[in-house]
Every structure is written in C-alpha cells, then in structure tokens.
Amino acid sequence: MPQLKDLRFVCLDCEMTGLDAVKDRIIEIAACKFTLQENLDSFTTLVKPDCEISPEAFAVHHISADMLIGKPPIEQLLPQILEFIGNHIIVGHGIGHDIALLINAAERAQIPCKLRDHPSFDTLRLARLYGDSPNNSLENLAIHFNVPSVGAHRALADVEMNIQIFKHLVRKFRSTEEIVAILAKPIKMKFMPLGKHKGRLFSEIPIQYLQWAANMDFDQDLLFSIRSELKRRRQGGGFSEGTNPFASLS
C-alpha cells in the first residue's frame, strides 16, 4: 500500500477565457510536481486561445488579450503537459474542471489523452471533509491554515498555495487508499457553500429553502448534505420549522 509520504503528486491549475469547460479556452496553465516534503519541478505558461476573454474572467485573473500575443496555442503545449503529469496523482481545487479542460483541448487537437480515468484528489472535497472552514475557497483556506497568498488567481500562485493547503488537509491520512475510499462517498458538509445562506450551518437554514435546494442541479456533496438535513428534521432530530412559529422570521 503506497504511503503518501513516499509519493510524487502533480498540482495543476488553469485560467480560462470564461467559465464553460466546453466553449471556453485555457489561457494560462501551471503545474508543480511535489512530495509532502518538497516541491520538485514546476512550469507555467500563458496560452493563446482562439476566442475572446470574457469580462467576468478578466476581472478574476487580469490576463488581457495583449498579454497572450505570440504565446503558443494549447495544442502545441499539450504533449509537454501530459508528459509532465505522467502517472502521478493530480491534485487541484475543483480539479475535475481543469482535467475536463485538458481532455476537451486534447480531443479538439486530436492528441491522445488518458486523463479521463487518471487518479486525482480534489482539495475542494478534502476541505469539505475537513469541515472546519465555513468557506472552502482557496483564498479562505489559505487564511484558515495561515498559508501565504501572493498573486491569487494566477495559475502558478494558486498551485503553490494549493500544495500547502493539500498538505494540511491530508495530515490524518497515511495512504492513497484511505483518501480514495472516503472520497468515493458523498461528503456531509457543515456549512452552506453558496446562495443567500452561504456560510450558515445547514441546521440553521429554513426548511423551505432546503426543500427548494434539494431539487437543484448541485454537486453530489451539496445535494447529500441538503437531503441529509431534511431527513434529520423529518425524523425529529432538531427544532423543525414545521412546528416553529418563528420560522418565517429566519
């Protein structure tokens, strides 16, 4: 059974022209090969896309079209990126999105890519499992764990910050099997991560809102958390709004 301390990982982050993994394009990518003891090797590059950068995306990463003039297209960079990743476990915050970006780019360029079934650890889900931070954004986790945050929302800065956060989040685990087993199941979260009740304990959220949210297209962890709280209230596990005359004041 491989021990975490003996493994090499690759932390990955992409900045984009927008938020859609299919329609939008990578404009910056960074990766760092590391162990739990040290960073080993890294690279970062700007990427020339074939579409415009949305104002919303620019407001986050501040990468302009002028900065991308003369930069290589993603199809030229993909072989180097895939070789760098190799067979190492990929680490990232919401890493499924970054992997999907690379898979889509490889398919468009007709470049062989085996990332679809590649092992990965999502620090967003590990942070939900950890449970003691009401906001699991990379920046807030950095504050929570006292990790220096310099140049956030640029790919390499986010990668370096993410690596330190990953080390905090896996402290109680010894092997990859332990992490894989626990992440294979939905995670029951303590705090609502979005919407008008963002940051509140699920037990404090009005039942009408939870009933509405239970039918939304949220990820498995959030839906599991919402439905678990509804089940708890149905079973009489708390002071239910159903019998609470002050519920309308929430």
Map out the domains of the chain as residue ranges. 4-183, 188-242
For 4-183, CATH gives 3.30.420.10
- Among left, alpha and beta (phi > 0; psi -120 to 50; other), residue 62 is left
Q: How far is residue 86's CA from residue 84's CA, in Å, rounded to a whole number?
A: 5
Interstrand relation of 89-92 and 9-16 (parallel, antiparallel or unpaired): parallel
C-alpha distances (whole Å) from 111 to each of 46, 50, 74, 106, 107 are 20, 17, 11, 5, 6
Is 0.85 topped by the overall pTM? yes
| DSSP 8-class letter at 247 | G
- Which residue numbers are catalytic? 153
Helices (H), 131-244: 138-144, 155-169, 176-183, 207-213, 220-234
Specify the residue for token string 């939008």: 24
pLDDT band at 242 (very low <50, low <70, confident <90, very high): very low
77-133 pLDDT, tens digit per residue, is 999 999 999 999 999 999 999 999 999 999 999 999 999 999 999 999 999 999 888
Assess contact for 113 and 106: CB atoms under 8 A: yes
| Residues 179-224: tens digit of each pLDDT | 999 999 999 999 999 999 999 999 999 999 999 999 999 999 999 9
Contact 134, 144 (CB under 8 A): no
